[in-house]
Structure 1
Amino acid sequence: MSVDVLEMTWSRHGELVVVTLTGEVDADNVSQVRKCLDEAVAAHGPRLVVDLTGLTFIDTTGLGVLVRQLATLRDRDGTMALVAPDGQVLRRLRRTNLAPLFPIYDTLSDALT
């Protein structure tokens, strides 16, 4: 059974804040993702890791939120990395030529080191 409901959590890991997205990101819930990313950064600072390991789908609106968040963080001298092991999400990042914008890691532990 696939997960079609989006779950979002965030936690602090030293100087980094990790936002974990599980399920699907699409036009119906992208505003919730934007709000979650903004709140996590506001609470914990501009060094962000977004863990996409549990995503089964992300559409172009979801990718757009990630790109806008990256631009906002860069304006604040922040950073943003993605955790996206091989799968649909990484293929979509590559197909849309967005992958080179982000440091992309296979695992969360790699991103945190």
Structure 2
Amino acid sequence: MDVLEMTRRQHGELVVVSLAGEVDLDNVSQVRKCLDDAVEAHGPRLVVDLTGLTFIDTTGLGVLVRLLATLRERDGTMALVAPDGQVLRRLRRTNLAPLFPIYDTLSQALD
């Protein structure tokens, strides 16, 4: 299993959380906390950069969907950066892709 790396940075009104490695049952609580902390510290406009992810399981997808619902309740937004690969295929296969604005690059998401 790849070690999960999480980084957070402010970009104007947006907060960008980048995830690299694998997200699964073993570390999903860390991912949830990182994303929740980012929203609490910087507000409800979030970009989650999944470019560096090599794997995400259904528990990780569930965290993203629940956070999206929470942000929408707060008039917030959440976009994903997921270039073609395993993560994007999983989002499409589970029919979750239409829920999110999905961009190929971080610069596209920030425009």
Structure-2-length-normalised TM-score: 0.99
Instruction: Calculate percent identity across the aligned residue pairs.
Output: 88
- 1:11 is paired with a residue of what secondary structure? strand
- What is the one-letter code of the residue matched to 2:63? V
2-side partners of 1:24 and 1:101: how far apart?
A: 22
- Give, in angstroms, the shift of residue 65 of structure 1: 0.2
2-side partners of 1:13 and 1:40: how far apart?
A: 12
Deviations 1:19-77 (A, max 9, x none): 00000000000000000000000000000000000000000000000000000000000
2-side partners of 1:10 and 1:76: how far apart?
A: 20
Pairing of 1:20-39 with structure 2 (within 5 A)? 20-39=18-37
- 1:77 is paired with a residue of what secondary structure? coil
- What is the one-letter code of the residue matched to 2:35? L
Deviations 1:75-96 (A, max 9, x none): 0000000000000000000000
Structure 1 equivalent of residue 5 of structure 2: 7
- What is the one-letter code of the residue matched to 2:99? L
Counterpart pick for 2:17 among 7, 16, 19 = 19
- 2:6 is paired with a residue of what secondary structure? strand
Aligned length: 111
The runs of at least 4 consecutive aligned structure 1 residues that moved more than 2 Å come to none
Structure 2 equivalent of residue 49 of structure 1: 47
Pairing of 1:1-113 with structure 2 (within 5 A)? 4-113=2-111
- Give, in angstroms, the shift of residue 15 of structure 1: 0.4
- What is the one-letter code of the residue matched to 1:52? L
Structure-1-length-normalised TM-score: 0.97
Q: Structure 1: any 5+ residue segments left out of the alignment?
A: none
2-side partners of 1:7 and 1:66: how far apart?
A: 17
- What is the one-letter code of the residue matched to 1:55? L
2-side partners of 1:92 and 1:61: how far apart?
A: 12
- What is the one-letter code of the residue matched to 1:88? Q
- 1:111 is paired with a residue of what secondary structure? helix
